Amino acid sequence: MNSLLLNTDGVQIPQLGFGVWQVPDDEAERAVTTAFQAGYRHIDTARLYYNEEGVGRAFRKSGLPREKAFITTKLWNADHGRAEEAFEESLARLGLDYVDLYLIHWPVPDQDKYIQAWKSLEKIYRNGRARAIGVSNFNVEHLTRLIDEAEITPSINQIELHPNFPQTALRAFHEANGILTEAWSPLGQGKGLLNDPALATLAGKHGKSPAQIVLRWHIQLGNVVIPKSVTPARIKENIQVFDFTLDPEDMAAIGALNNGTRLGPDPANFNWMG
């Protein structure tokens, strides 16, 4: 498994992880157990997913030493003003004494508390309770303000990114500022994208599935990816993307699928409190 270096004290993040959004707690335990067995070592959950407990149970059942698993969770929007308490609650649900990565889930600009929340994340990081800290769904505008007002630059920004919405400008901003790009909904939520004939052609060429072609595109762009599935065969399929390489013309053909389609909300005006 490839790992990428975060901008924090030598912390390595496995480039491909396993996401558990919209997976109920018991099912998350089963899916994460399958994922660990298939070789995943990086799990992406959040307070809002209501499955931190299931993720924690799957980790304990795996028998893996703590340092072999990379576990991310996220601060929910309603908790920006109480980040340290919310973090401790997440740790308790996970049954861990530290996480590998803690993210602010959304900036919620209307609420205007993300700078306050980030200062709490800096404390959590300094106390060794999170090995790395970052953000999610931050636009250039939010990142610029954060970098200006904070002591620590976020190590990663987890954003919606797939071939139909490749986030070229934001990726360039990340690169210029030493921030890793992590792609959520990397498969476009398995909706129309995976049926695109261009992907079928590349799948035939490489003897891989359309999902594997898309995941390989992310890997070659340098994105961290966290595909989700609860189907054991797909969980296994989605990690088999390190044994082939897309040619430059394949990368360009996937790049041409950009049609500006965002599947999720626009972070500039998303202020749902859950």
Cβ-Cβ contacts under 8 Å for 83 (sequence gap 6 or more): 75, 116, 117, 120, 121, 124
Alpha carbon distance 132, 8 (integer Å): 6
- Whether residue 105 is annotated as binding a ligand: the answer is yes
Choose the binding region for ligand NAD from 141-149, 163-171, 224-232, 244-252 (rule: CB under 6 A).
Answer: 224-232
Between 8 and 223, CB nearer to ligand NAD: 223
Alpha carbon distance 179, 176 (integer Å): 8
Between 14 and 188, CB nearer to ligand NAD: 188
Cβ-Cβ contacts under 8 Å for 188 (sequence gap 6 or more): 162, 163, 164, 165, 194, 214, 263
Strands (E) located in the chain: 3-5, 12-14, 18-19, 42-44, 70-75, 99-104, 130-136, 156-160, 180-184, 224-225
Regarding 158 and contact with ligand NAD (CB under 6 A), the answer is: yes
Please pick, from the candidates 113, 171, 208, 228, the single residue that binds ligand NAD as defined by CB under 6 A: 228
Site size for ligand NAD, by CB under 6 A? 26
CB of 23 to ligand NAD, least distance (A): 7
Regarding 234 and contact with ligand NAD (CB under 6 A), the answer is: yes
Between 54 and 188, CB nearer to ligand NAD: 188
Give which of 23, 57, 263 is closest to 163, Cα–Cα. Answer: 263
> To 5 degrees, how large is the angle CA 206–CA 208–CA 210?
110
Single-letter amino acid, residue 41: R
Please pick, from the candidates 101, 187, 213, 253, the single residue that binds ligand NAD as defined by CB under 6 A: 187
Please pick, from the candidates 34, 51, 90, 137, the single residue that binds ligand NAD as defined by CB under 6 A: 137
Please pick, from the candidates 16, 31, 34, 44, the single residue that binds ligand NAD as defined by CB under 6 A: 44
Q: Which residues, numbered 85-114, are part of the site for ligand NAD (CB under 6 A)?
A: 105
Please pick, from the candidates 73, 136, 157, 223, the single residue that binds ligand NAD as defined by CB under 6 A: 136
Regarding 270 and contact with ligand NAD (CB under 6 A), the answer is: no
Cα dihedral sign for 1, 176, 189, 212?
negative
Alpha carbon distance 184, 227 (integer Å): 7
Indicate if 50 belongs to the active site. Answer: no
Do 134 and 103 contact (CB within 8 A), yes or no?
Answer: yes
Q: Which residues are catalytic?
A: 49
Residues forming the annotated binding site for substrate? 105
Residues in contact with ligand NAD by the rule CB under 6 A: 19-21, 44, 105, 136-137, 158, 184-190, 194, 209, 211, 226-229, 234, 237-238, 264
